[in-house]
Each structure stands twice: as C-alpha cells, then as structure tokens.
Structure 1
C-alpha cells in the first residue's frame, strides 16, 4: 500500500494522496475533482511554497482568491478538499500538521457541499418517498430528510426526545418528556451526550452524536404524520430508554443501529437507480446524502445560512446561543416557512 512508504519517499504529495484515494475505493470522478482542486492550489503557491510547507496564511490566501470568481458553495468545497488532503497527509506522517484546520474553523461557508454529488430535485425525492410504504422505513427516511440529522443521531433518538402535539400519541406514549421540550411542541431534541460504548438514559449506545451543543429541530406536520404511523405499529421495547426506532425483523424491538439504517436506505436507493455496488459518495444515495439534501435545499430556500447551520448542529457557540435564545421566532418560523414537502 502506498501509505506504508516512508514520508521521505513522497516526491509528489498530491499524487500520493490521489493514489491512496484509489486504494480507498473512491470513484474516478471523485479523484479527478480532488486532483483538479489540489493542482490549482499547487499552481497558486507557485515557487513561494509547496503543499508540504504551506502555512495557514497560504491556505487562507488561496481560499480568499476564489471569492467572487466562484459560488460560495464551491469555495466551501475547495476548502473541504484541502482540509481532507492535509488531514490525511498528516495522519500518514508525511506532513507535520494541517494548516487548514484554523482556516475551516474561521470560515462562514458550510463545507458539506460536494460539486460531484448526485443532484436530486425535491419532486424526485418526493416520488422516492412515495414508494416507501413500510411505516418504519418511511419514518426513518423522512426524519433524515426533514431534520438533517446524522444517521447515528437518528438512531439515538428516544421517545423522550420527540414532542408532538397529538392527544392520541401523548396518551399512548411517554413522548417529549424532556424539560427543554416543555414549551417547544412539535420538536425533536438532539443531545451532544451520546457516545459509543457509554450509557445514556439507561442504555449503552452503539453510535455517537457528533454535535458539540444540543439542538432543537422543528417537527412539521408531515414528519409528525409518519412518526405517528410508525408508533402505531412499533414493537414493544425491552430497553428502559424507549428508543424511537427499533427493529421489526432482526433484533425485534431493539434499537436500530446506523448499519441497519444504511441497509434500509440502500435497498430503496437501489430500486430507484440511485445506488450501485462500487459507486462512491458522489453517486450513491445514503443516509449522509439526505443530510446533504437537507442542507442544500433548505439553505437555498431560506437564504439564512445561520439557521441551517444551527439545525445541522455545526455552528460556533456564539451563533448557536443566538438561535437558541430566539428559537421560537427565527428558527421555527424560518423552518416552517421554507421546509419542502415530501408527501404526495
């Protein structure tokens, strides 16, 4: 494997990185996208520096040079590619550090957009959802599409994390009994405290939530409807944590793990022609693609990057505090006015 070569043997760090992307199974389209960006960065450095000796100021200058010439999402993608390149080369011992870390932390742009990613319209996604009739599967897919949660965060939801203003549901289930949801009906709470192998709400978790701060996400009428349909058939669960999503075939009544959700999504994506064996992230629709879909379409509809960042759970403390304090007005109103419809 190329990653076993001594760092001193790497004459072309970019070529080394692209070669390792091949070994990691990345598609040719993905590799070409990375190489195009990294070679452009190399040309920008010219004789003043080289990728292995570039500083964070060199990286900032490159990112700044892009602004005004390309869309903000493209600037964000270039930053993401550089960040991944430096992170990988640091990990294999070829570079001493990642100069992009500080740059990415200071950037306003969301670094989730990938120009090579499959582009699915809202009407096409609506048709995709309409073909999912199993209540559990539909609830999982709509939850991911409507909230932008990571798959692990979705799996970690307990009944107490979902507040829905529905008398039948509230009589049948102990839902939404977190204090933070007491004055926020029709909401989902995502905790930052779930960690693989550690206990939360009386249950050892098999997935981690990657948020540094808690997030309250609105639940619109469509999501409430599919969750109610799912809860009507949800098997009894032995866990005192009362997970929202549990198995209906294997591991009956046990909390679903991310791998199970990925298999469910893959099944429907294959049927839609949106997934093939050997396809990369740019081609295949996965639970993570749904987070990308949420980010792209909601940001385009709202024009409010701050609200979308808050909902995704990837904003700085000062920004998240602003939206936490004004949750009822800015977050919910913006979300409800702009969230796309998925049910026909």
Structure 2
C-alpha cells in the first residue's frame, strides 16, 4: 500500500502510518517499535472494531491492560506511541479525531499527583512569600508560583516578553514588543525557541525552553505589582536583549541563570524548614516544586485541565491551538477567576 492513496482508500491505517514514518526518515528500529505497539493495540480491540472506530474508553482499557505486566515507563511509552499514531492520522485526514488526547491528560494527572511529595497549603505559601523582602527574590518566586513556568523559561524572559498595561512603566521600559502581545496586555510570552548555547535576541542563552509551542500567560494584579516593584530597582546590564531578571550581587546586571534562581529558592526554603540537604525531590521545595504547586492548586480550583496544561506549555498541538484561539475568552478569564492569592 502506498501512503499516496487518498484517506478514504486506506484499509490498513497502521501500515499507512508505518510507511509514512519511513518517508519521514525514521529508522527501522523505530518503525518496528511503533508497529509492535500498534499491532498489539489492534489485537486488543474487539473483533468487530478497528483503530479508526476505537473510542477513548477503548484506548484507556488498552493502557490499563498494560499495567502490572509492564513498568510505568513502558506504559507511558506505549501510550505516547498510540497518541502520536492517532494525532498523525487525524492530521492527514484518515481519522476524524484523536481519542488518546483525553487519555494522555488523565495519565498526566496521575503522574503529577505524587503522594510522597511535600504538600504545602496556599496559606502556608502566603507565609513563605511574606518572608521574602528582596524585590528580585520576591519577583522570581511569585512569577514561578503564579505562572507554573520552568526555571529555565523564567531566566530566558526578556523585557520584550512582558506586557504591562501601565503608562509610566511603558515610558521607562520597552516592554511587550512581541507581536503576540499586541492585543494581550498584562501577559508574559514564553518562547519555544531558546536553546543552550544558541543566540536569541542577540544573546547566547544558558538555558533551554522545553516548550514546543509559544505560550502567552496572563498575569494578575499581584504578579504585575511584584514585577513593577522589581523593574523600579532593576539594574541596567550589558546585554542588548534586555533580560527581565538580572543579578543584583555577583554578576551585577547580567542575566540570571537557573542555578542562581535555585540558590535563591533554596535559601528561603531552608529558612522555612522546607529544604534539607539530601532530602530529595519529594521533600525539598525547589523551583520545580513551584510548578507542581501551580498545577495542583490551579487545576483543583478550575476543574479545567486543558487551561492548566496550556499555561504549563505541555499540551498536544490540537489542544494548544484551541486555547490559543480562545485566549481572551477562556484562558485569561479562567486564570483570573481562579488563580490563588499569595500576597496579603
């Protein structure tokens, strides 16, 4: 069978997909792995059912059947293979939709909820933030807690990635010059284009952004006020990229790197009794823990996993497109109505 056939002529979707993997340059080993998993899924389905007619419940049942016999990492890999298969076949018009999208969201939720992880309440986090007086340190912590972004993404922010609807601030700084922020005031733009060692906006970066798609994250009054107070004392630096967060001690005026941010968080977490040398990820509060805090609390308050996953930057293309197109109506409104308050 040739993948040049029209979608309505495809009688073996798995074979069609594997052949297209060949055209995309995938190795024989990769193609064999996909075919083994997909044929196993095909055999799992009832005899009168095909991959084209399978529902999300059929996909969930298949993933569930793997548990116990396979390691968690293997189950996740099989699910990812099936998700990509359906996503591709939907994109080329062979299938009408991807039943694995919901399954992957549910799996992500299960992974995120680690029962051994430290559980910090919102009131306790307010006490923590209240103890941070340094304007840079507070801005770093509040930005991480309010956006759920990764520490590298935080470090890669430039002034052009921040839009604040404040005339005085706009007269002082060249903020929000990204076209994507033109009609989205009070927002942050997180690019997928930052890579360690490669130049972006005229400066070689020390961290990579792991997002595959750009994300516009709304900022509420608390984060906006915190960032304005930081901008009021932010030192000028040598970089023409105008990084948002720069050093105020060693490396004065130079872009902060992820290790510097981790040291800041560790300092305050130790003072709160939330960090112990050798404590591990389940016990210690770190920038990554703030991402977990954001995900857990905002998801619980909104009941909308899609918006939270869009903000985190780890959703599938079809979902992120939906929220990108409905940014003003759904993302900002949902965020502002539900984001927790951290400042007293």
Q: By the TM > 0.5 criterion, same fold?
A: yes
Counting only pairs closer than 5 Å after superposition, residues 235-314 of structure 1 correspond to structure 2 as 235-314=235-314
RMSD of Structure 2 on Structure 1 (CA): 2.4
Q: 1:285 to 1:103 in 2, by over 3 A?
A: farther
What's the offset of the Cα at 1:179? 1.0
What's the offset of the Cα at 1:168? 1.4
What's the offset of the Cα at 1:177? 1.0
Per the normalisation by structure 2, the TM-score is 0.74
2:98 aligned with 1:108, yes or no?
A: no
What's the offset of the Cα at 1:112? 2.8
Q: 1:333 to 1:54 in 2, by over 3 A?
A: closer
Counting only pairs closer than 5 Å after superposition, residues 25-104 of structure 1 correspond to structure 2 as 57=41, 61=61, 63-64=63-64, 82-83=72-73, 98-99=77-78, 101-102=80-81
Q: In the alignment, what sits opposite 1:140?
A: 140
Per-residue CA deviations over 1:12-69 (Å, capped at 9, x if unaligned) read xxxxxxxxxxxxxxxxxxxxxxxxxxxxxxxxxxxxxxxxx99975996574369xxx
What's the offset of the Cα at 1:100? 5.2
Q: Counterpart of 2:261 in 1: which secondary structure?
A: helix
In 2, the alpha carbon distance for the partners of 1:303 and 1:237 equals 42
From the CA coordinates, give the structure whose radius of gyration is larger.
2
Q: In the alignment, what sits opposite 1:227?
A: 227
Contact 1:176–1:182 (Cα < 8 Å) also in 2: yes
Q: In the alignment, what sits opposite 2:175?
A: 175
Q: In the alignment, what sits opposite 1:343?
A: 343
Per the normalisation by structure 1, the TM-score is 0.74
In 2, the alpha carbon distance for the partners of 1:125 and 1:200 equals 34
Q: 1:120 to 1:65 in 2, by over 3 A?
A: farther
Structure 2, gaps ≥5 residues long: 1-35, 45-58, 85-99
In 2, the alpha carbon distance for the partners of 1:144 and 1:276 equals 21
Equivalent residues, number: 269
Contact 1:60–1:103 (Cα < 8 Å) also in 2: no
Runs of 4+ in 1 over 6 A off after TM superposition: 53-56
Q: 1:61 to 1:135 in 2, by over 3 A?
A: same
Q: In the alignment, what sits opposite 1:124?
A: 124
Per-residue CA deviations over 1:142-196 (Å, capped at 9, x if unaligned) read 0000000000000000000000111111111111111110100000000000000
Contact 2:150–2:288 (Cα < 8 Å) also in 1: yes
Contact 2:63–2:79 (Cα < 8 Å) also in 1: no
What's the offset of the Cα at 1:108? 1.9
In 1, the alpha carbon distance for the partners of 2:82 and 2:340 equals 32
In 2, the alpha carbon distance for the partners of 1:196 and 1:246 equals 18
Q: In the alignment, what sits opposite 2:50?
A: none
In 2, the alpha carbon distance for the partners of 1:82 and 1:62 equals 14
In 2, the alpha carbon distance for the partners of 1:270 and 1:299 equals 27
In 1, the alpha carbon distance for the partners of 2:189 and 2:140 equals 16
In 2, the alpha carbon distance for the partners of 1:62 and 1:273 equals 43
